[in-house]
Amino acid sequence: MKVNEIFYSLQGEGHYTGTPAVFVRFAGCNLRCWFCDTDFEKGVEMNEDEIVEAVLQYPTRYVVITGGEPTLQITASLCDKLLAHGLYLMMETNGTRPLPEGCQIDWITCSPKLIDVEEGKRKIATIRLRHIDELKVVFEDSPTQDMALYEQIPATEYRLQPCDTQDPLCNQAILNKTIKYILQHPKWKLSLQTHKILHVR
Protein backbone atom coordinates (compact mmCIF):
# COMPACT_ATOMS: atom_id res chain seq x y z
CA MET A 1 0.00 0.00 0.00
CA LYS A 2 1.21 3.50 -0.81
CA VAL A 3 0.75 5.79 2.19
CA ASN A 4 1.11 9.55 1.90
CA GLU A 5 1.37 10.10 5.67
CA ILE A 6 0.22 8.90 9.08
CA PHE A 7 -0.12 11.57 11.76
CA TYR A 8 -1.94 12.41 14.99
CA SER A 9 -4.05 15.54 15.31
CA LEU A 10 -7.56 16.83 15.90
CA GLN A 11 -10.28 16.07 13.40
CA GLY A 12 -10.84 19.47 11.86
CA GLU A 13 -14.07 18.98 9.93
CA GLY A 14 -17.59 17.63 10.18
CA HIS A 15 -19.35 15.59 12.85
CA TYR A 16 -16.22 14.65 14.82
CA THR A 17 -14.61 18.12 14.81
CA GLY A 18 -12.21 18.46 17.74
CA THR A 19 -11.78 14.71 18.27
CA PRO A 20 -8.17 13.47 18.63
CA ALA A 21 -7.57 11.03 15.79
CA VAL A 22 -4.85 9.25 13.86
CA PHE A 23 -5.00 10.11 10.16
CA VAL A 24 -3.98 7.45 7.66
CA ARG A 25 -3.72 9.25 4.35
CA PHE A 26 -3.41 6.97 1.34
CA ALA A 27 -1.70 8.22 -1.81
CA GLY A 28 -3.52 8.46 -5.12
CA CYS A 29 -6.89 9.74 -6.26
CA ASN A 30 -9.24 9.09 -9.16
CA LEU A 31 -10.33 12.76 -9.38
CA ARG A 32 -8.55 16.09 -9.75
CA CYS A 33 -10.35 18.87 -7.87
CA TRP A 34 -9.08 22.41 -8.38
CA PHE A 35 -9.35 23.26 -4.68
CA CYS A 36 -7.60 20.15 -3.35
CA ASP A 37 -4.97 21.04 -0.73
CA THR A 38 -3.34 17.61 -0.47
CA ASP A 39 -0.21 16.43 -2.28
CA PHE A 40 -1.60 12.91 -2.47
CA GLU A 41 0.71 11.54 -5.17
CA LYS A 42 3.72 11.19 -2.87
CA GLY A 43 3.98 8.26 -0.49
CA VAL A 44 5.92 5.31 0.85
CA GLU A 45 5.07 1.63 0.55
CA MET A 46 3.78 0.08 3.79
CA ASN A 47 2.19 -3.28 4.48
CA GLU A 48 -0.89 -3.67 6.65
CA ASP A 49 0.99 -4.65 9.79
CA GLU A 50 3.25 -1.62 9.48
CA ILE A 51 0.21 0.65 9.17
CA VAL A 52 -1.41 -0.90 12.24
CA GLU A 53 1.83 -0.57 14.22
CA ALA A 54 2.10 3.13 13.25
CA VAL A 55 -1.52 3.80 14.27
CA LEU A 56 -1.12 2.11 17.65
CA GLN A 57 1.67 4.51 18.64
CA TYR A 58 -0.97 7.09 19.50
CA PRO A 59 -3.36 7.15 22.50
CA THR A 60 -6.67 7.66 20.67
CA ARG A 61 -9.06 4.97 19.43
CA TYR A 62 -10.28 7.12 16.52
CA VAL A 63 -8.73 6.54 13.10
CA VAL A 64 -9.51 8.61 10.00
CA ILE A 65 -8.81 6.80 6.74
CA THR A 66 -8.46 9.37 4.01
CA GLY A 67 -6.57 10.34 0.89
CA GLY A 68 -6.46 11.08 -2.01
CA GLU A 69 -9.17 8.49 -2.41
CA PRO A 70 -8.82 5.71 0.20
CA THR A 71 -11.10 3.19 -1.55
CA LEU A 72 -8.37 2.76 -4.16
CA GLN A 73 -6.26 0.89 -1.58
CA ILE A 74 -8.19 0.07 1.61
CA THR A 75 -8.77 -3.65 2.23
CA ALA A 76 -11.08 -5.67 4.43
CA SER A 77 -8.08 -7.29 6.10
CA LEU A 78 -6.59 -3.93 7.13
CA CYS A 79 -9.95 -2.87 8.56
CA ASP A 80 -10.20 -6.13 10.48
CA LYS A 81 -6.70 -5.72 11.94
CA LEU A 82 -7.47 -2.18 13.12
CA LEU A 83 -10.89 -3.13 14.51
CA ALA A 84 -9.32 -6.02 16.42
CA HIS A 85 -7.55 -3.40 18.57
CA GLY A 86 -10.85 -1.73 19.48
CA LEU A 87 -10.32 1.19 17.12
CA TYR A 88 -13.15 3.28 15.64
CA LEU A 89 -12.73 3.64 11.89
CA MET A 90 -13.83 6.73 10.00
CA MET A 91 -13.39 7.19 6.27
CA GLU A 92 -13.44 10.31 4.12
CA THR A 93 -14.18 9.48 0.48
CA ASN A 94 -15.45 11.11 -2.69
CA GLY A 95 -17.95 8.25 -2.96
CA THR A 96 -17.24 7.41 -6.60
CA ARG A 97 -16.10 3.88 -5.71
CA PRO A 98 -17.84 1.30 -3.52
CA LEU A 99 -16.12 0.03 -0.41
CA PRO A 100 -14.14 -3.10 -1.21
CA GLU A 101 -16.01 -6.26 -0.22
CA GLY A 102 -15.90 -6.97 3.50
CA CYS A 103 -14.60 -3.55 4.60
CA GLN A 104 -16.14 -2.54 7.92
CA ILE A 105 -16.12 1.22 8.54
CA ASP A 106 -17.87 2.78 11.55
CA TRP A 107 -18.44 6.24 10.06
CA ILE A 108 -18.40 7.22 6.38
CA THR A 109 -18.08 10.85 5.32
CA CYS A 110 -18.75 11.33 1.64
CA SER A 111 -17.65 14.54 -0.04
CA PRO A 112 -19.15 14.35 -3.55
CA LYS A 113 -17.29 16.12 -6.31
CA LEU A 114 -18.38 17.94 -9.45
CA ILE A 115 -17.07 16.82 -12.82
CA ASP A 116 -17.18 18.65 -16.15
CA VAL A 117 -19.66 17.26 -18.66
CA GLU A 118 -19.45 20.02 -21.27
CA GLU A 119 -18.54 23.68 -21.57
CA GLY A 120 -19.99 25.52 -18.57
CA LYS A 121 -21.85 22.48 -17.24
CA ARG A 122 -20.95 20.11 -14.42
CA LYS A 123 -22.63 17.22 -12.65
CA ILE A 124 -21.99 15.32 -9.44
CA ALA A 125 -19.74 12.32 -9.99
CA THR A 126 -21.81 9.15 -9.54
CA ILE A 127 -22.01 8.03 -5.89
CA ARG A 128 -21.43 4.29 -5.47
CA LEU A 129 -21.67 3.94 -1.70
CA ARG A 130 -24.44 1.90 -0.12
CA HIS A 131 -24.50 3.99 3.04
CA ILE A 132 -23.41 7.53 3.94
CA ASP A 133 -23.30 8.77 7.54
CA GLU A 134 -22.26 12.30 6.67
CA LEU A 135 -22.56 14.09 3.35
CA LYS A 136 -20.05 16.95 3.29
CA VAL A 137 -20.38 19.32 0.35
CA VAL A 138 -17.71 21.88 -0.48
CA PHE A 139 -19.64 25.06 -1.31
CA GLU A 140 -17.94 26.82 -4.21
CA ASP A 141 -20.44 29.62 -4.84
CA SER A 142 -20.39 28.77 -8.53
CA PRO A 143 -23.31 29.00 -10.99
CA THR A 144 -22.43 25.49 -12.16
CA GLN A 145 -22.91 24.01 -8.66
CA ASP A 146 -26.56 23.00 -8.37
CA MET A 147 -27.22 22.43 -4.66
CA ALA A 148 -30.53 20.74 -5.44
CA LEU A 149 -28.61 17.75 -6.79
CA TYR A 150 -26.99 17.10 -3.40
CA GLU A 151 -30.38 17.09 -1.69
CA GLN A 152 -31.17 13.85 -3.52
CA ILE A 153 -28.24 11.93 -2.01
CA PRO A 154 -29.38 9.87 1.01
CA ALA A 155 -27.33 10.49 4.17
CA THR A 156 -27.79 10.66 7.94
CA GLU A 157 -26.26 14.15 8.26
CA TYR A 158 -25.74 16.98 5.77
CA ARG A 159 -22.89 19.48 6.11
CA LEU A 160 -21.89 22.41 3.94
CA GLN A 161 -18.28 23.54 3.99
CA PRO A 162 -17.12 26.82 2.41
CA CYS A 163 -14.43 26.29 -0.22
CA ASP A 164 -10.95 27.51 0.63
CA THR A 165 -9.71 29.50 -2.36
CA GLN A 166 -6.53 30.74 -0.58
CA ASP A 167 -7.91 34.29 -1.03
CA PRO A 168 -9.13 35.75 2.32
CA LEU A 169 -11.61 38.18 0.74
CA CYS A 170 -13.04 35.51 -1.55
CA ASN A 171 -13.18 33.04 1.35
CA GLN A 172 -15.16 35.51 3.49
CA ALA A 173 -17.67 36.02 0.68
CA ILE A 174 -18.10 32.27 0.23
CA LEU A 175 -18.50 31.80 3.99
CA ASN A 176 -21.21 34.45 4.11
CA LYS A 177 -23.09 32.79 1.25
CA THR A 178 -22.65 29.37 2.85
CA ILE A 179 -24.21 30.62 6.10
CA LYS A 180 -27.04 32.28 4.16
CA TYR A 181 -27.77 29.04 2.31
CA ILE A 182 -27.82 27.01 5.53
CA LEU A 183 -30.18 29.46 7.21
CA GLN A 184 -32.52 29.10 4.22
CA HIS A 185 -32.09 25.31 4.12
CA PRO A 186 -31.79 24.10 7.76
CA LYS A 187 -31.33 20.50 6.66
CA TRP A 188 -27.66 21.49 6.36
CA LYS A 189 -25.14 22.24 9.11
CA LEU A 190 -21.97 24.31 8.80
CA SER A 191 -18.63 22.53 8.57
CA LEU A 192 -15.46 24.59 8.92
CA GLN A 193 -11.84 23.54 8.38
CA THR A 194 -10.99 24.30 12.01
CA HIS A 195 -7.49 22.83 11.70
CA LYS A 196 -6.67 25.70 9.35
CA ILE A 197 -8.20 28.23 11.75
CA LEU A 198 -6.20 26.77 14.66
CA HIS A 199 -3.06 26.31 12.55
CA VAL A 200 -2.70 22.64 13.43
CA ARG A 201 -1.95 19.83 11.04
* d(C-alpha 200, C-alpha 79), whole Å: 27
DSSP-assigned letters across all residues of 55-80: HTTSS-SEEEEESS-GGGT--HHHHH
pLDDT at position 122, please?
A: 80
What does the pLDDT average to over 109-114? 92
From the candidates 5, 23, 26, 109, which is the catalytic residue? 23
Q: Domain count for the chain, please give it.
A: 1
Tell me the residue range of the domain where 170 lies. 2-198
Which residue stretches of the chain are H helix? 48-55, 76-83, 147-151, 168-184, 194-198
From the candidates 15, 17, 19, 33, which is the catalytic residue? 33
* Chain segment 43-67, per-residue pLDDT in tens: 999 999 999 999 999 999 999 999 9
Is 167 annotated as catalytic? no
Work out the pLDDT band at 182, boundaries 50, 70, 90. Answer: very high
Report residue 181 CA to chain centroid gap.
21
From the candidates 106, 165, 170, 195, which is the catalytic residue? 195
Work out the pLDDT band at 181, boundaries 50, 70, 90. Answer: very high
Work out the pLDDT band at 37, boundaries 50, 70, 90. Answer: low
Q: How many CA atoms lie within 13 A of 54 on its CB side?
A: 17
pLDDT at position 28, please?
A: 87
Is 41 annotated as catalytic? no
pLDDT higher than 90, residue 40:
no
As a whole number of Å, the end-to-end CA separation of the chain is 23
Is 35 annotated as catalytic? no
pLDDT at position 42, please?
A: 84
Is 33 annotated as catalytic? yes
From the candidates 5, 13, 26, 29, which is the catalytic residue? 29
Is 37 annotated as catalytic? yes
Is 38 annotated as catalytic? yes
From the candidates 17, 38, 75, 165, which is the catalytic residue? 38
Mean pLDDT of the chain: 92
Is 170 annotated as catalytic? no
Is 92 annotated as catalytic? yes
Work out the pLDDT band at 1, boundaries 50, 70, 90. Answer: very high
**CATH number for 189:** 3.20.20.70
From the candidates 36, 85, 126, 156, which is the catalytic residue? 36
* Chain segment 80-102, per-residue pLDDT in tens: 999 999 999 999 999 999 999 99
